[in-house]
């Protein structure tokens, strides 16, 4: 693992990690790299990857996950603390889940309580049984998005939601939209 703390960088103090590797839980491998600047808008570029994520570690978040099945994925956070952007990808076998989020800085002439927010998620081949006991098995492919203004109290103003499902089967129910 290597890293740098540069308190006299031209753009202000900087914390950077070139390659941090760790083995955690039941044998999952994590890698992290990136940097955070501590001046101005606090810019950042951080990436975390997991390959593999051991089945027992996935079960902490999805109780019905097959214990022997591994997953892999990555997450990236960029932008600044004032206007962060994030994206993530997780895959295992035929299943993929991808997500994106963007919280923009308040537009010129508005209050900080009027920050544009966009979120999107796509899941393909997800078995709903991973949610826990009693949930029927199947294969679900869904996509959804949310566009809204995030107010200072954390509530959403003027939300626009879009959701779709296709080539999905849960128990005896099939949807092919």
Query: pLDDT digits over 50-76, tens only?
Result: 999 999 998 888 888 888 899 999 999
Query: pLDDT digits over 29-45, tens only?
Result: 999 999 998 887 789 99
Nearby residues of 49 by Cβ (< 8 Å), 6 or more positions away: 30, 31, 32, 72, 73, 74
Q: How many residues does the chain have?
A: 177
- As a whole number of angstroms, the distance between CA 37 and CA 147 comes to 29
- What predicted TM-score, i.e. pTM, was given to this entire model? 0.82
CA triple 62-64-67, angle to 5 deg: 90
- As a whole number of angstroms, the distance between CA 36 and CA 43 comes to 6
């Amino acid at each position: 693992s290597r890293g740098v703390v540069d308190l006299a960088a031209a753009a202000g103090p900087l914390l950077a990690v070139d390659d941090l590797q760790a083995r955690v839980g039941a044998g999952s491998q994590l890698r992290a790299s990136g940097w955070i600047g501590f001046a101005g808008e606090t810019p950042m570029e951080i990436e975390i990857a997991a390959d593999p994520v051991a089945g027992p570690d996935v079960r902490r978040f999805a109780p019905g996950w097959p214990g022997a099945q591994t997953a892999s994925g990555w997450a990236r956070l960029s932008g600044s603390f004032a206007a962060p952007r994030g994206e993530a990808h997780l895959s295992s076998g035929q299943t993929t889940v991808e997500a994106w989020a963007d919280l923009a800085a308040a537009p010129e002439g508005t209050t900080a309580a009027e920050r544009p927010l966009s979120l999107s998620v796509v899941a393909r081949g997800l078995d709903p049984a991973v949610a826990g006991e009693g949930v029927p098995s199947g294969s679900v492919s869904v996509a959804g998005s949310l566009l809204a203004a995030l107010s200072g109290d954390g509530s959403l103003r003027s939300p626009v939601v879009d959701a779709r499902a296709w080539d999905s089967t849960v128990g005896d129910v099939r949807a092919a939209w």
